[in-house]
Structure 1
Amino acid sequence: MDAVDPVTLRLAIFVLAVFVGYYVVWSVTPALHTPLMAVTNAISSVIIVGALIAAAAPALVGESDAGSNFARGAGMVGVVLASVNIFGGFLVTQRMLAMYKKKDKPQPKGDGS
């Protein structure tokens, strides 16, 4: 029995994860979108920590070769993209929560007596 090529196995897992993720996200009811956005923001904050480590690691070790410059650039791109995702997620979450707030009804004007 031959072993499966690791690249083929990882590619198959990635494709299945894309399909499962697509169907899971699109089947979420509208009432659950706000909690889903909050979890997405939390995941993005973890991504920022990893990107900061990737950007700072070459400077901490004292390396300055092409690989460390690539790590700094990739880390910087990761920080920027995750920051956009976090701040955009917070804006969308605030707008969604504002839709559920009760609007104040204007007080009827009395005749002054």
Structure 2
Amino acid sequence: MGTFVAGLTIFVLAVFVGLEIINKVPPTLHTPLMSGSNAISGITLIGALLAAGVESTLWAQLLAFCAVVFASVNLVGGFLVTHRMLRMFQRR
């Protein structure tokens, strides 16, 4: 139970820190930062896939599945936004 509470505490703190950091970034930097975060989302996706395959409890597999879904959405969304941004700079 102690490990769960420690993990939950770290997760909640990471959410708050992430929201504060994102809210402090000027809008002109959001798209370039999203392009850079695609690599991190790819690493997260690989880790989530590994966790989904290794863990044996139902609860751990459910959390790993959620991690795979969220990382996939973030990765695909980041690439779509980056592609759209790069199309704005192409010559016609």
Which of the pair has more CA radius of gyration?
1
Q: 1 or 2, which has the higher helix percentage?
A: 2
**Which residues of structure 1 form unaligned runs of 5+?**
1-6, 104-113
Kept in 2: contact 1:55–1:76 (CA 8 A) = yes
- TM-score, with length taken from structure 2: 0.71
Any idea what SS the aligned residue of 1:54 has? helix
Q: How far apart, CA to CA, are the structure 2 residues paired with 1:20 and 1:88?
A: 20
Any idea what SS the aligned residue of 1:101 has? coil
Kept in 2: contact 1:34–1:97 (CA 8 A) = no
Q: How far apart, CA to CA, are the structure 1 residues paired with 2:23 and 2:31?
A: 18
Deviations 1:61-99 (A, max 9, x none): xx4xxxx11111111111111111111111111111000
| 2:79 is the counterpart of 1:97 | no
Q: What is the aligned length?
A: 82
| 2:70 is the counterpart of 1:81 | yes
Aligned match of 2:43 in 34, 41, 46? Answer: 46
Kept in 2: contact 1:44–1:85 (CA 8 A) = yes
Aligned match of 2:60 in 54, 71, 74? Answer: 71
1:16 CA drift (Å): 6.5
Residue 54 (structure 2) aligns with:
57
Q: How far apart, CA to CA, are the structure 2 residues paired with 1:22 and 1:85?
A: 17
The alignment-based identity, stated in percent, is 41
